[in-house]
Amino acid sequence: MRPATRAALTTLAVACCTFSSLPAWAAAPAGNAPSCVTVWQTTGTITKTGYARNDCGYRLRLKIIWAHGTDGACQTVDSGETIYSRVPRGVRTFDGADTC
């Protein structure tokens, strides 16, 4: 194989591997909670935990939304407080928070 061809193939392989492993935050979680609600998730060895923090200046009723299964319980969240919902790792995907 020619050196120029080998270099081009190597560059292509590196580019494919780099762009196929984008971080989880590339697709922001959805949900119908107001924009003043901050959502995030953590992933452990056995479970995933979704969080929603009420940064609004008023009380809200929120629940954590999970794809492919049951959502978290509806909870009253005062301004500045955080709720969470934990599920087993696997096909479940964190979809953010909804008002309820």
Span 64-84, average pLDDT? 96
pLDDT score of 2: 53
| Percent of the chain with pLDDT strictly greater than 90 | 68
For residue 94, is pLDDT > 70? yes
> CA 17 to CA 20: how far, in whole Å?
5
> CA 16 to CA 67: how far, in whole Å?
28
> CA 51 to CA 68: how far, in whole Å?
18
> CA 52 to CA 82: how far, in whole Å?
6
Pairing mode, if any, of strands 37-43 and 47-54?
antiparallel
* Bridge partners of residue 43, in order along the sequence: 48
The 10s digit of each residue's pLDDT in 18-66 is 333 333 443 566 789 999 999 999 999 999 999 999 999 999 999 999 9
pLDDT score of 16: 43
